[in-house]
């Protein structure tokens, strides 16, 4: 196999994000639920026999970005003598809380594991992913997940797959800066996965009865995003994006199940749509946004599109992957 083309790297949203503490090494402990959505970057991986790891294409990212670091880490950890040309086509905005860079790195790990015929299992790839960043392991895990710790203690959860309206203001946010602006005082007792499961069961039941709330009188989703206030202090456009999205939904008569919330450390915000979006909604979201902002209607995914490419225990990943194509 010489190459893999059009490998998807999907974005994620955080249904909620609870900051539960801070470790002695400075990392914050979290509690969240990750869900993949169909806003994706795309990668081509071409095998090199000289061992070089090379970026190709003009995407404006640094030469030593997370994709290159992922490839070099996998090469070093396995002693592989092969290399790769990496062509990344960006669609997911950067510094948005959508996990684009982490997802790209995970797709590189998954793709090169196959292209180089390394046969690393999912747990082995996840160990490498954790060395690249807190959000990378969930994309290798490949399932929507309840996460704790620094984000790498994962437990699969079956989530509904609604449509989301996502808006990203032009102003991106550094995760490090947002956490630095966070005031850790009077942290509430964190809920449990069982609390979430009970709420989710009731929410899914309500969805089947069509009991969504008109967008003018929205209730918050379960939990909260503890980073949202800090993010809004650093970038007031986060609050503005949320307000614009609420107004567009109301004007379009689009029912939303819950109020708008920021994902991750921002700056993107999202709303869970109670029904399939009307055809006019995408145009309305784009029309009402300031220049350089991005808006998109996204379908939630049940699993990562490359989930079947990684074996859980031994040998090479399964051959029946849903996306991507290869060239011999």
E strands, 121-162, are 145-149, 153-156
Which residues are CB-neighbours of 58 under 8 A, at least 6 positions away?
Answer: none
The residues that are catalytic are: 12, 135
Q: Is residue 184 a contact partner of residue 22, using CB atoms and an 8 Å limit?
A: yes
- Rounded to whole angstroms, the Cα distance separating 34 from 29 reads 15
CB hemisphere CA count around 192 (13 angstroms): 3
CB atoms within 10 A of CB 15: 23
- Rounded to whole angstroms, the Cα distance separating 146 from 151 reads 9
Q: Is residue 326 a contact partner of residue 3, using CB atoms and an 8 Å limit?
A: yes
- Rounded to whole angstroms, the Cα distance separating 53 from 69 reads 9
Cis peptide before 267 (omega within 30 of 0): yes
Residue 277: alpha-carbon gap to chain centroid: 21
Print burial letters for 52-89: b (CB count within 10 Å at least 16), e (below 16): ebebeeeeebeeebbbbbbbebbbeebebebbbbbbbe
Look up residue 190 and give its DSSP letter: P
């Amino acid at each position: 196999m010489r190459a893999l083309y059009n490998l998807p790297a999907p974005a994620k949203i955080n249904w909620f994000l609870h900051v539960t503490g801070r470790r002695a090494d400075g990392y914050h402990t979290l509690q969240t639920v990750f869900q993949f959505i169909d806003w994706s970057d795309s990668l081509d991986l071409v095998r090199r026999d000289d061992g070089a790891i090379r970026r190709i294409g003009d995407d404006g990212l640094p030469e030593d970005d997370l994709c290159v670091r992922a490839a070099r880490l996998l090469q070093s950890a396995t002693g592989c003598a092969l290399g790769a040309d990496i062509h990344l086509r960006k669609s997911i905005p950067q510094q948005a809380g959508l996990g684009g860079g982490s997802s790209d790195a995970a797709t590189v790990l998954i793709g090169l594991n196959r292209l180089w015929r390394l046969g690393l299992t999912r747990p082995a790839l996840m160990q490498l992913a954790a060395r690249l960043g807190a959000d990378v392991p969930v994309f290798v895990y490949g399932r929507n997940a309840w996460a704790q710790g620094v984000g790498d203690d994962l437990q699969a959860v079956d989530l509904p797959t609604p449509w989301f309206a996502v808006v990203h203001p032009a102003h991106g946010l550094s995760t490090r800066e947002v956490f630095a602006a966070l005031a850790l005082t009077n942290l509430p007792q964190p809920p449990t996965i069982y609390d979430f499961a009970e709420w989710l069961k009731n929410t899914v039941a309500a969805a089947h009865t069509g009991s969504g709330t008109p967008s003018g009188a929205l209730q918050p989703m379960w939990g909260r995003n503890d980073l949202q206030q800090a993010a809004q202090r650093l970038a007031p456009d986060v609050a503005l994006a949320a307000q614009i999205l609420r107004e567009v939904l109301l004007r379009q008569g689009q029912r939303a199940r819950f109020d708008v919330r920021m994902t991750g450390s921002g700056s993107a915000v999202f709303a869970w749509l109670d029904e399939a979006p009307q055809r006019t909604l995408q145009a309305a979201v784009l029309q009402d946004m300031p220049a350089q902002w991005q808006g998109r209607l996204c379908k939630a995914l049940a699993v990562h599109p490359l989930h079947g490419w990684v074996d859980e225990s031994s040998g090479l990943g399964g051959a029946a992957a849903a996306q991507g194509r290869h060239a011999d």
